[in-house]
Amino acid sequence: MNNLLEKIKFFAIDMMESVVAIHAEKGIEPFKKPLLYALPIVLGLYFFVYSPTTDKLNNKTIELENIEFIAEFFEEYSNAKLRISSLQSQLPATKDKADWLNYILTSNAKEHAIDIDGITAQKEVAISDYYIVSRTVSITTTYSKLGKWICDMENSPIFLKITDFNLKKDPVKRGYVKVKLTLSTVFAKM
């Protein structure tokens, strides 16, 4: 390896000595034509090889900075994504959107021996990638049945919340209350 380096070094020194000798004897005239051809080639190589490489290097440097910035928050992003997916698993299926709340209200009321006085039409509000669906129901029942019914609905594994609640003492039946409540849930848009 050292022998090869010595040969290259000797060749370069010998070539430079020859160039200096020719320049001293004849001036710049013998170098004009080779320089005239070599200079555009060297400039062309610079602009077509070196310049794009510099642009690529700058782009890769910016991309690396962006990746490092994202990497700082990757764990937080992953945790948020897991929380969102666990919350979405608690949402009812979108295909059941039309009758699901009505079914929940009537089946839970039957289970607790509560008579429903009236149910309003379902209200749907679209917000970004979700539908907020609500139904208002009117019932007359006892405090204990009402408490158990509300407890069952709000502790459901599927996301259900009472968003409006109005309670009045029933003037006719002693120990009964008239309740008007709105039950809401969220459906993901598919």
- Asked if residue 82 is part of any domain, the answer here is no
pLDDT in tens, 131-187: 888 999 999 999 999 999 989 888 888 888 899 999 999 898 888 999 999 999 888
* Runs of H (alpha helix) within 114-168: 143-154
The predicted pLDDT at position 44 comes to 81
Domain at 170, CATH number: 3.30.70.60
- pTM for the predicted model, two decimal places: 0.54
Residues 26 and 103 in one domain: no
Residues 138 and 64 in one domain: no
- Asked if residue 33 is part of any domain, the answer here is yes
| Number of domains present in the structure of the chain | 2
Q: Of the candidates 71, 103, 129, which is a domain's last residue? A: 71
Residues 52 and 99 in one domain: no
- Asked if residue 25 is part of any domain, the answer here is yes
Distance CA 101, CA 115 (A): 16
Distance CA 166, CA 111 (A): 22
Positions in the chain whose pLDDT score sits under 50: none
Range of the domain at 32: 2-71
The predicted pLDDT at position 85 comes to 80
Residues 98 and 184 in one domain: yes
The predicted pLDDT at position 158 comes to 81
Residues 40 and 109 in one domain: no
- Asked if residue 86 is part of any domain, the answer here is no
Tokens of 154: 């709000």
Residues 121 and 184 in one domain: yes
Average pLDDT of the chain is 84
